[in-house]
């Protein structure tokens, strides 16, 4: 494919590479230099990664903070420095582990809004530095808790030897590693995340995702041409649509303000009469002000 490929692309990230690795592979394979992601997955995690290509990168900040759904496995009876099995074990439980019903009852207590402390090894910044960098230097930091929401946290069949399959639907900013850690603390035996796979982000489902290109794929030799890119027009922006008339489109394309009497102040998705996306605007004091212009002024 060429650099004209744009829109939103759903990728099924394998465990191992970083989210930035996937972005780099897609850039190299498609020839499209403008590629970004809408939210990372830790390297050990797999599943849905939403990429924005071309002009869609300018819409990333306007996509809704939709709930995310994960399936995975947590292990009880141990605590690690990273809150998953990638880190060193720092404590092991003595005695029998809690039964299935006790674990399920404890899991239900996490449903709702709450304050959550991120893992010590995370990308959260403290004083301008990533926490994982501070942790690798042996520096202890008190990370502030942030408000998150757990919409559901349910156990799945297949529990064996302290390994608990689960499904969780959570708000943006939630660390599933922290959820596993905190559940283990609540049960008094310790806990860590063993496996994690993201299956949905708002309206986006893993079922519609494609495998990433091979790391060695080069657009100059063998272009990668995924057929599943979501067009710009269908990007699910987080605010209402304001359609403008044909004689207003050129003014919008050149950054000119458009009368918007009667419209409520706030952000709007700007479209033509046929609902083709033109950009993002902001209504204030009776005027529609262009903020992101996606339409070519010559069109």
β-bridge partners, 253: none
> Sign of the C-alpha dihedral, residues 107, 112, 117, 120?
positive
Residues sharing a CB contact under 8 Å with residue 129, sequence separation 6 or more, in sequence order: none
What is the DSSP annotation of 179-232? HHHHHHHHHTS-EEEEEEEEEEETTEEGGG-BPPPPTT--TTTS----S-PBPG
CA distance 166 to 147: 22
Q: Please report where in the chains the tokens 């502030």 appear, as a residue.
A: 144
Catalytic residue among 12, 21, 42, 182: 42
Closest by alpha carbon to 74, among 196, 249, 172, 192? 192
Helix (H) or strand (E) holding 157: none
Helix (H) or strand (E) holding 71: strand 68-76
- In the annotation, is 42 catalytic? yes
Residues sharing a CB contact under 8 Å with residue 73, sequence separation 6 or more, in sequence order: 163, 164, 165, 166, 193, 194, 195
Give the active site residues.
42
């Amino acid at each position: 494919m060429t650099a004209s490929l744009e829109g939103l692309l759903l990728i099924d990230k394998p465990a191992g590479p970083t989210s930035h690795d996937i972005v780099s592979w897609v850039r190299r394979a498609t020839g499209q230099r403008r590629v970004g992601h809408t939210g990372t997955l830790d390297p050990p995690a797999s599943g849905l990664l939403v990429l924005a290509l071309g002009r869609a990168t300018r819409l990333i900040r306007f996509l809704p903070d939709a709930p995310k759904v994960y399936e995975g496995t947590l292990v009880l009876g141990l605590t690690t420095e990273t809150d998953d099995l990638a880190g060193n074990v720092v404590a092991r439980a003595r005695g029998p582990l809690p039964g299935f019903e006790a674990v399920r009852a404890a899991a239900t207590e996490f449903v709702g809004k709450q304050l959550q402390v991120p893992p010590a090894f995370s990308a959260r910044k403290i004083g301008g530095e990533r926490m994982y960098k501070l942790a690798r230097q042996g520096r202890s930091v008190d990370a502030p808790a942030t408000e998150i929401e757990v919409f559901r946290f349910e156990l799945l069949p297949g529990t064996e030897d302290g390994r608990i399959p689960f499904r969780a639907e959570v708000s943006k900013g939630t660390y599933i590693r922290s959820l596993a850690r905190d559940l283990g603390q609540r049960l008094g035996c310790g806990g860590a995340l063993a496996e994690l796979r993201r299956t949905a982000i708002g309206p986006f489902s893993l079922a519609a995702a494609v495998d990433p290109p091979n790391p060695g794929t080069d657009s100059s030799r063998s272009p990668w041409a995924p057929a599943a890119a979501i067009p710009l027009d269908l990007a699910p922006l987080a605010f209402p649509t304001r359609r403008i008339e044909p004689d207003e489109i050129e003014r919008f394309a050149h950054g000119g303000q458009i009368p918007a009497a009667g419209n409520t102040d706030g952000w709007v998705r700007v479209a033509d009469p046929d609902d083709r996306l033109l950009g993002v605007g902001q209504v204030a004091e009776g005027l529609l002000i262009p903020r992101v212009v996606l339409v070519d002024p010559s069109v």
